[in-house]
Structures are given as structure tokens and as C-alpha cells.
């Protein structure tokens, strides 16, 4: 059976199982086992045990439940409510109002977590209940979170950039700096879309009854300071070299607990509820991560990523046509693989094509991260879609429909940095020699 036939068969399995009532993580395990049985002669259970061990013993994954716990503490204490109270007076005056909190908070938290899933889960826990309670548009609220949550991969520190830098021998420091301007552009694009939508239809983000004075706006500033201070604590420990991302996550948990205790907004009952809820969310995410990793290994054994990338190399395309084909290829791969697997499996063949076409490998790293961001909101294995589903209980396709504008905006930003690569390269070349 050729690679294209096996790709469509696996995609069919994905659509069938993910459209059923079977848990998402279990569905991915089943599809991986079927892929091994039908298309390879390798023992699926032996490989499954290795995948489970490698994922469960991965020290970088410890940061994920810690950041989720940090978000739960925000949610259970009055820190999240104060965040809304502090931002409301300033954002009520612009179209979109508190929907912009999804984007601003995601951009800020992305600079802390380095993870798309952690960013989406943490910000979503804080913002979505408040937005829906205030009768904001469900599609705009959820869709903006789905897109903005992906900023966890693009705004440094990013785990994906670390993996890319190691595999491609590109400076991780330059990758971090190179992601700043595209990350800012993407955040502005998301906010700009919300602004225009709500300018045309103000009922998407209805104005509250209270009209704030400038005195109230000034007094609201201290309410957002705990979040700002916490971000500075986590970022400071990272950039000063005092802590790894996992240790920085511990700093975040300690800081959030400290602010919650100082504000007297958390008790033992709330603390225990935060522990249990973060455990449930972390288990859900880890089950999906392990299932996606196992399916990724199965797809790799079949040879789908390598053969698809090799097929592109035989077409003899111009540099921009090559990027257009790679964009389509990465979107397709994103339907089946997690971001780390996309990098590891495709880069050995994609990098020679990129270098031959005259693209800078540093630029390609940022482009690839944006492509993986797109895969986070692309069904059937859009990881951000799964995280949001756990928050709002809408079905995957509905959430994907809400996220469609964000999908298109990311494609536009990818096109812009392809036409003007210096957007990515100017800061790294200026700041890091």
C-alpha cells in the first residue's frame, strides 16, 4: 500500500474514532495500534510501552502540570477576578472589550510557559467563564482563545524552538529573539480582527452598564500588578539563568500561592479543589500527548512524513512555490502529528530543500513554528481544540469553526514573513552576534 493510500486510511480512522464517543486519548492509541497492525510488521505493544515511558519520564513535561496548577490557583483565588476588574475599565472603551484579554493574557503567559497547551488551558480557565457570563459572543470568545493560545509556541521561551535549534544546529538564543516580532504581529492581528468584528457588530461584545471614569481606571491598575509581577518573576528566573522552564514553573506556582495567601482569597478547600482540577486537566492532556506521540511513531514507521517531504523535493519548484507546497504539507502533517514529531520527522529532508532555495535556517525555524501553531487548531488532532473542549464541552468541529479566522490570520503572517524575511532576522542579527 503506497504512502498516500495509507495516509487517507489513517485519516479516515481519525475522523471515525474522534467523531465517536470514545475518549480522544484512547482513540489515538487505538488508531496507532491499527496502523502498526495493518501497515507494518512491528510489535505495537512493545513500541507503546516505550512511548509511554519516554513521555512519562520526560522532565520538560513536568512544567505543564505546574503551569496548569498555577492557572488553577489564579482561577480559585481572586487573582483572575481582579485581572478582569483591572482590565475592564481600560478595555471597555475599545470595540471587542474583554475579548482582547484572551489575546493579551495569552501573549503574556506565553512569555512564561513556552507551551501552547499550558497557555490555552491556563488563560481559558480564567477568561472563558467570565466572557460567557457577560454574554459575549461564544464563537468570538472561544475562537480568539484557540488562536491566541498558540502564541505559547512562538513567543519565547518556546519548547519547540529549543527542539528545532538542537536538531538544526541553529542558535536557540537567536530563535528566541527571532520569534518576538512575528509573535507581536500575530497578537496584533488577532486583536485587530476582534476590533473590526466588534466595530461592525457591537453586540458581539456588549458594553456593561457601568461607565468608568479616568479616576477608576487609575485605581484599577494595582489589581493587575500581581499577574505582571508574577510574569516578571518567572521570566526573570529564566533569562537570568537561575531556573530551567520546569523550575520557573515552580516559581510561578509559589508566586501565585503567595499572592493568593496575601489577598486572603484561598483556603484549604479551594487549594484542594485546585490540586484535583489541575490533576484532572493534566491527566487529560498527558493521555492525549501519549496517544498523539504513539500515533506519530506509527506514522513515522510507515514512512509517511519522509515520503511526503521527499515527494516535494522531486518537483523542482521555485523558492516561493516550495514554501507554498511546504505550507500545505505541514498543514496536512498537522492533522496527524504533534509539533515535536513534525520537527523531528520532516526536518532532515526539509532543511536541505530550504538551504538549496536560499532561505535562512533561522527564518525557517520561525516559519515552522507558525505552521505548528496552525496545526494546534486544525482538526482532527488540533491539540488546542482538545484543551478548549475540556473547558467548554463544545465538539471539536464547532471549536475548529470558531478558530477558522485565527487559522487564516496565521497563514497571512506566515506569508508576510516569507516575503519579508528580515522581519524575523533583523533583531537576532542586531542583538546577538
pLDDT tens for the chain, residues 1 to 433: 566 677 778 778 777 876 677 777 788 888 888 888 888 878 888 888 888 887 777 666 677 788 778 777 876 777 766 777 787 788 778 888 888 888 888 887 777 666 777 778 778 887 888 888 888 899 999 999 999 988 888 887 777 887 788 778 888 778 888 888 999 999 999 999 999 999 998 888 887 666 778 888 888 888 888 878 887 887 677 666 677 767 877 888 888 888 888 878 788 888 898 888 888 877 877 787 788 778 878 877 887 777 766 776 677 778 898 899 889 888 887 877 767 777 776 776 678 788 878 899 999 999 999 999 888 888 777 778 888 888 887 888 899 899 999 999 999 999 999 999 999 999 888 765 5
DSSP 344-410: HHHHHHHHHHHHHTT--HHHHHHHHHHHHHHHTTSSSS-HHHHHHHHHH---HHHHHHHTHHHHHHH
Residue closest to 359 by CA, chosen among 413, 321, 311: 321
Residues whose CB falls within 8 Å of the CB of residue 394, separated by 6 or more in sequence, listed in order:
142, 388, 402
| Helices and strands (DSSP H and E) totals, the chain | 23, 0
The Cα 394–Cα 124 span in angstroms is 14
How much of the chain is helix, strand and coil, in % rounded to 5? 80, 0, 20
If one counts every other C-beta atom within 10 angstroms of the C-beta of residue 181, the result is 17
pLDDT of residue 208: 67
The Cα 375–Cα 360 span in angstroms is 23
CA angle (233 as vertex; 160, 80 as ends), nearest 5:
90
The Cα 334–Cα 74 span in angstroms is 32
Q: Is 298 in contact with 32 (CB distance < 8 Å)?
A: yes
Q: How far apart are the first and last CA of the chain?
A: 50
Cell of 208: 456593561
Residue ranges in 92-154 assigned as alpha helix (H): 99-113, 116-133, 138-148, 151-154
pLDDT of residue 121: 79
The Cα 371–Cα 330 span in angstroms is 6
The Cα 149–Cα 146 span in angstroms is 5
Q: What is the SS3 assignment for 263?
A: coil
**Helical (H) or strand (E) element with 134:** none
pLDDT of residue 308: 66
**Helical (H) or strand (E) element with 338:** none
pLDDT of residue 422: 93
Cα atoms in the 13 Å half-sphere on the side-chain side of 37: 7
Residue closest to 345 by CA, chosen among 288, 304, 290: 304
Helices 180-200 and 99-113 pack at an angle, to 10 degrees, of 170
Residues whose CB falls within 8 Å of the CB of residue 405, separated by 6 or more in sequence, listed in order:
143, 147, 193
Q: Exposed, middle or buried by CB within 10 Å (0-12, 13-18, 19+), for 275?
A: middle
- At residue 308, φ and ψ (nearest 5 deg) are -65, -45
pLDDT of residue 176: 83
pLDDT of residue 19: 66
Amino acid at each position: 500500500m503506497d504512502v498516500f493510500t495509507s495516509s487517507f486510511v489513517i485519516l479516515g480512522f481519525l475522523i471515525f474514532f474522534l467523531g465517536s464517543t470514545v475518549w480522544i486519548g484512547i482513540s489515538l492509541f487505538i488508531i496507532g495500534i491499527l496502523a502498526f497492525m495493518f501497515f507494518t510488521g512491528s510489535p505495537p505493544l512493545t513500541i507503546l510501552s516505550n512511548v509511554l515511558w519516554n513521555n512519562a519520564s520526560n522532565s520538560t513535561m513536568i512544567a505543564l502540570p505546574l503551569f496548569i496548577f498555577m492557572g488553577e490557583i489564579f482561577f480559585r483565588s481572586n487573582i483572575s477576578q481582579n485581572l478582569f476588574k483591572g482590565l475592564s475599565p481600560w478595555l471597555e472603551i475599545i470595540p471587542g472589550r474583554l475579548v482582547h484579554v484572551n489575546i493579551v493574557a495569552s501573549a503574556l503567559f506565553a512569555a512564561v510557559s513556552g507551551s501552547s497547551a499550558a497557555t490555552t488551558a491556563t488563560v481559558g480557565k480564567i477568561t472563558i467563564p467570565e466572557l460567557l457570563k457577560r454574554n459575549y459572543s461564544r464563537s468570538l470568545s472561544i475562537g480568539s482563545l484557540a488562536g491566541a493560545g498558540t502564541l505559547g509556541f512562538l513567543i519565547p521561551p518556546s519548547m519547540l524552538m529549543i527542539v528545532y535549534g538542537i536538531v538544526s544546529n541553529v542558535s536557540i538564543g537567536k530563535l528566541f529573539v527571532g520569534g518576538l516580532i512575528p509573535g507581536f504581529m500575530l497578537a496584533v492581528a488577532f486583536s485587530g480582527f476582534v476590533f473590526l468584528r466588534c466595530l461592525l457588530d457591537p453586540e458581539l461584545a456588549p458594553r456593561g452598564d457601568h461607565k468608568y471614569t479616568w479616576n477608576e481606571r487609575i485605581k484599577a491598575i494595582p489589581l493587575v500588578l500581581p499577574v505582571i509581577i508574577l510574569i516578571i518573576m518567572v521570566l526573570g528566573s529564566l533569562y537570568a539563568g537561575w531556573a530551567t522552564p520546569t523550575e520557573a514553573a515552580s516559581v510561578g506556582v509559589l508566586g501565585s500561592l503567595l499572592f493568593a495567601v496575601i489577598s486572603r482569597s484561598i483556603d484549604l478547600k479551594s487549594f484542594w479543589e485546585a490540586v484535583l482540577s489541575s490533576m484532572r486537566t493534566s491527566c487529560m492532556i498527558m493521555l492525549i500527548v501519549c496517544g498523539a506521540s504513539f500515533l506519530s511513531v506509527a506514522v513515522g514507521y510507515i514512512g509517511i512524513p519522509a515520503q511526503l517531504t521527499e515527494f516535494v523535493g522531486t518537483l523542482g519548484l521555485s523558492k516561493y512555490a516550495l514554501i507554498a507546497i511546504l505550507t500545505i504539507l505541514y498543514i496536512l502533517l498537522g492533522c496527524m502529528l504533534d509539533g515535536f514529531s513534525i520537527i523531528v520527522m520532516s526536518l532532515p529532508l526539509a532543511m536541505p530543500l530550504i538551504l538549496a532555495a536560499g532561505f535562512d535556517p533561522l527564518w525557517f525555524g520561525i516559519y515552522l513554528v507558525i505552521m505548528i501553531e496552525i496545526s494546534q487548531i486544525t482538526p482532527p488532532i488540533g491539540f488546542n481544540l482538545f484543551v478548549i473542549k475540556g473547558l467548554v464541552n463544545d465538539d471539536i468541529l464547532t471549536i475548529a469553526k470558531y478558530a477558522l479566522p485565527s487559522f487564516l490570520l496565521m497563514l497571512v503572517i506566515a506569508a508576510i514573513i516569507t516575503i519579508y524575511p528580515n522581519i524575523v532576522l533583523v533583531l537576532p542579527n542586531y542583538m546577538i552576534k
